Structure 1
């Protein structure tokens, strides 16, 4: 199996983590987004990563679908056993409103209709939701890591990285602790190795 990926893409990160965690044997092909390989584009004309080519010729080109495929094969710690409704809500909010705010916060110069802090404040609405969930335990959906944690962490990591000094003093101590533990985890470290 082949996974077309881009190291810093949060969608690709979450796919790589689920594949690694599940033990799926895949060849990872790092893609230059400026020169996408023809074989990747033939498999998935939309031209975005990740793209997983299965041994049987099927193509999965959505990160959450790749994660679910991997976890259906092998989910030793029960990432899928968390509250399904809570996970679905978190995933929808992350991939919708939070991702939009994150993009505008990271690239505020492309969206001059509002100051950067406006977009940061929009993203903080989601961080406040995460902070509230983390008051109940160390993970977003309970006492153990779930699909939601792995799927959201790459995006929160990007949000954090826009202004590290601001994030370090922002009123989200549980989110800070959660994302720092995630960044330092062996799973994340392994999938980010060059």
Structure 2
């Protein structure tokens, strides 16, 4: 049995971002294995044949290969900012579903053979609802950042990055402010530190 979990991750993946942030917040000591998506390591595929990141292999061999489940597990170990009692599961499911659907077709329109502007408009409408929620509070879960903020913002960040000038001109002000604060946080900076790709030869 190993002493610490192993995380298979990819720096730019939004799902992996939120998993790393929860692990860092919880203070969990883990081994980070950065993955090249075009050359996925056999050890990761053996643990999780679906071949997507993040994958967390616990010390006892248990595999957790959904980012939200990794977040829950990490914070169940230690939750210093009280994220778990304030989870909005319905909001997260909506953005993981409908918003991600529109984001993919806005960002990768050629891959999906669709009109990207239609999906941009649909995504913007969802951000409008988020903006209304943020008018009444600083963060999605209350006056301090929480689980829902960290679960959602990597995807909003990706949406913003498709056409940054357009986003700056059209996204709700409160959403832009909320996103800027989370992106500038020390927690996100730690989660985004560049790590060289892992090789099985490293052990």
Q: TM-score range by the shorter chain?
A: over 0.9
Q: What CA distance in whole angstroms lies between the structure 1 residues aligned with 2:61 and 2:111?
A: 39
Aligned residue number for residue 198 of structure 2: none
Measured on the aligned residues, the alpha-carbon RMSD in Å equals 0.9
CA positional deviation for 1:158: 0.1
Partners in 1 of 2:33 and 2:80 — Cα distance?
A: 26
Q: Which residue of 2 is the match for residue 135 of structure 1? A: 135
Distance 2:60 2:48 in 1: 16
Give me the TM-score of the superposition, normalised by structure 1. 0.95
What's the secondary structure of 1:29's corresponding residue? strand
Deviation (angstroms), 1:2: 0.6
Q: For the Cα contact (< 8 Å) 1:98–1:123, is it kept in 2? A: yes
Structure 2 counterpart of 1:37: 41
1:32-65: CA deviation from partner (whole Å, max 9, x where unpaired): 1011000000000000000001001100000000
The equivalent of 1:94 in structure 2 is 95
| Offset at residue 111 of structure 1 (A) | 3.0
Deviation at 1:182, TM superposition (A): 0.5
1:104 aligns with 2:99: no
1:65 aligns with one of 48, 69, 72: 69
Q: Give the superposition deviation at 1:142.
A: 1.2
Superposition pairs of residues 160-175 of structure 1, within 5 angstroms: 160-175=160-175
Offset from partner CA, 1:13-33 (integer Å, 9 cap, x none): 000000000000011111010
1:51 matched to 2:52? The reply is no
Report the alpha carbon displacement of residue 124 of structure 1 after superposing the two structures with TM.
1.1
Deviation at 1:171, TM superposition (A): 4.2
- Displacement, 1:113? 3.6
User: Distance in 2 between the 1:54 and 1:61 partners?
Assistant: 11
Write the distance in 1 (CA, Å) between the matches of 2:171 and 2:12: 26
Q: Which residue of 2 aligns with 1:15?
A: 19
TM-score (normalised: structure 2)? 0.91
4+ aligned runs moved over 3 Å, structure 1: none
Unaligned runs of 5+ in 2: 195-203
Distance 1:171 1:191, change over 3 A: closer
**Contact conserved, 1:81 with 1:146, CA < 8 A, in 2?**
no
Deviation at 1:81, TM superposition (A): 1.9
Whether the 8 Å CA contact 1:133–1:141 is kept in 2: the answer is no
> What is the CA deviation profile of residues 88-110 of structure 1, one whole-angstrom value per residue up to 9, with x for unaligned ones?
11111111000000000001122
